[in-house]
Structure 1
Amino acid sequence: MIQLEDIKGNFKRDRALKAEYSIRVLIIKEASGLLCMNSGDYVLTPGRVFFIPEEGIIRLEGEVNSAYWLSFSSLLYSEFLLQHRDSQSRNLFMSLSFRDLNNSQAQKAYSLLEQLKREILAKRDVSYLAQYLSLLLGFSAVLNAELMDLSVDELQQVLRFRAILEQYFKTERSTEFYAAGMGMNSRKLNGFLKKAFSKNLPEVLYARLIREAEELLIHTDYSIAIIAEILGFEQANSFMSNFKKTKGISALEFRRLN
């Protein structure tokens, strides 16, 4: 479902880059030359991240001393799309695009990629890899302004928090529970979440619950009562009031419109 490899060497445009999966990202660490597509040629520069559409054939021309070639399946990509619903994110792979990271941002991206290689080799589960990929794409595409100011260690803490949240958001509501999982006290956790997401724990948690509710309302025929039970609400009325407060419309109206 995901493949990440280092590439280097002298390349000529008569040879296409092969990828295991259809969605691809090329991250340049040190190179000179061109990325060549039917739409044109693009300069290879350090810190440049290319987001490559599925149908595009990629050729390189020049010398690559160090670069990362990442490909992944739509299943892993779906988590990124769920977390990033704006048009800029949805269109990231519609045509070839790229982002240029400054030196500090690029070094963080390289560190994340090296850690991702280790996670892939360790055969981490799909849900964890999906969270990691979503974090990496959000950071390297400069889609999450808050993430850009975080250190590598803090980005790893974001990933750890997301992994805990994904496992327990339906059953656990207390700040103390998530703080213990992060090895922090409640005040420190909320301070970290404010820095990373501009939200405290209850806001992050309910945003995740509402996102899951949207998926259930759209893709299942479950009643409101059953959805409320799945999401850990003791009463359907509590779920409905939280949904309307967050979305501005009732759960039933949301289902009807979608």
Structure 2
Amino acid sequence: MIQLEPISGVFKKERALQAAYPMRVLIVKEASGLLCMNAGDHRLLNHRIFFIPEEGLVRLEGEIKSGYWLSFSNSLYAEFLLQHLDPLAKNLFLNLSFRDLENESAQTYNLINQLKKDIEAQKDLPFLAQYISLFLGFTSGLDGYLAAWTLDELQQVLRFRAILEQFYKRERAIQFYAEGMGISTGRLNSFLGKVLGKSLSSLIKDRIMREAEELLLHSDNSVDEIAQILGFEQTSSFITTFRRYKGISVNQFSHLG
């Protein structure tokens, strides 16, 4: 599902880089030369990150003194798209793109080093999915506010999101999430307000409604079935909640796709 390895050495473009999974990211810390694909060549510069589309071989011509080669599955990328509705998120891997990291570079390398440790520790998939989502949001510039967070805050958010992702359909009590985080309910409330700017109930509702949108547009489930999947005791409650949240009815939204 995910592979991350340091990359360094002198490269010739006669030999393509191999990746275990289709979604590919090259994080350059120090390098010179070119990244070559059929669509064109791009310079390897210090603190540059490349988001590489599924199609096409990646070849390097030059030297990488320090960097990382990351690849991951489409299912992990799907979590990023669920959390980022901006069209730019969908286009991130459509064509080869890159971004030069400036103030974000130190935080990026901290995130990568921690991700490597979490992979080696065999953290569960929900946690790694949240990590990839956060990492892509940060490095692509879609979530610029993350630059203000400390590494400890990033780790806490990851832990919270992983728990939320696993239990949002059936657990609503803050006590449950606080116990999962290993902190008091008061501290969790304070943390969510400070870092995410929302209450637990708002975050749960946001996640439920994102899932509702996905199911309404891309599944064959009936409205009754979707309400049950999302933990609503009555379909009418789901329909009312959805309309208040989206401003349109379930039926109107279903026909948008």
Q: TM-score, normalised by structure 2?
A: 0.91
How far 1:218 moved relative to its partner?
2.7
Write the deviation string for residues 12-41 of structure 1: whole angstroms up to 9, x where unpaired: 222221112221100011222222233333
User: Which blocks of at least 5 consecutive residues in structure 2 are unaligned?
Assistant: none
- For 1:220 and 1:32, locate their aligned partners in 2 and report how far apart those are by CA, in whole Å: 47
Match of 1:14 in 2: 14
Greater Cα offset, 91-100 or 218-227: 218-227
Write the deviation string for residues 20-69 of structure 1: whole angstroms up to 9, x where unpaired: 22211000112222222333332222221100112232222222111100
Indicate if the aligned counterparts of 2:8 and 2:66 stay in contact, CA closer than 8 A.
Answer: yes
RMSD: 1.9
Greater Cα offset, 233-242 or 219-228: 219-228
Map 1:163-202 to 2 at 5 A: 163-202=162-201
- For 2:34 and 2:132, locate their aligned partners in 1 and report how far apart those are by CA, in whole Å: 26
In the superposition, relative to structure 1, how do residues 191 and 100 fare at CA in structure 2: closer, same or farther (>3 Å)?
A: farther
Match of 2:151 in 1: 152
Match of 1:25 in 2: 25
SS at match of 1:5: strand
In the superposition, relative to structure 1, how do residues 191 and 146 fare at CA in structure 2: closer, same or farther (>3 Å)?
A: farther
Match of 2:98 in 1: 98
Match of 1:204 in 2: 203
SS at match of 1:234: coil
Map 1:5-84 to 2 at 5 A: 5-84=5-84
- For 1:101 and 1:192, locate their aligned partners in 2 and report how far apart those are by CA, in whole Å: 28
Indicate if the aligned counterparts of 1:175 and 1:186 stay in contact, CA closer than 8 A.
Answer: yes
How far 1:173 moved relative to its partner?
1.3
In the superposition, relative to structure 1, how do residues 12 and 223 fare at CA in structure 2: closer, same or farther (>3 Å)?
A: closer
- For 1:132 and 1:172, locate their aligned partners in 2 and report how far apart those are by CA, in whole Å: 22
How far 1:150 moved relative to its partner?
0.7
How far 1:123 moved relative to its partner?
3.0
- For 2:180 and 2:200, locate their aligned partners in 1 and report how far apart those are by CA, in whole Å: 13
SS at match of 1:257: coil
How far 1:187 moved relative to its partner?
4.1
Task: List structure 1 runs of 4+ shifted beyond 4 angstroms.
Answer: none
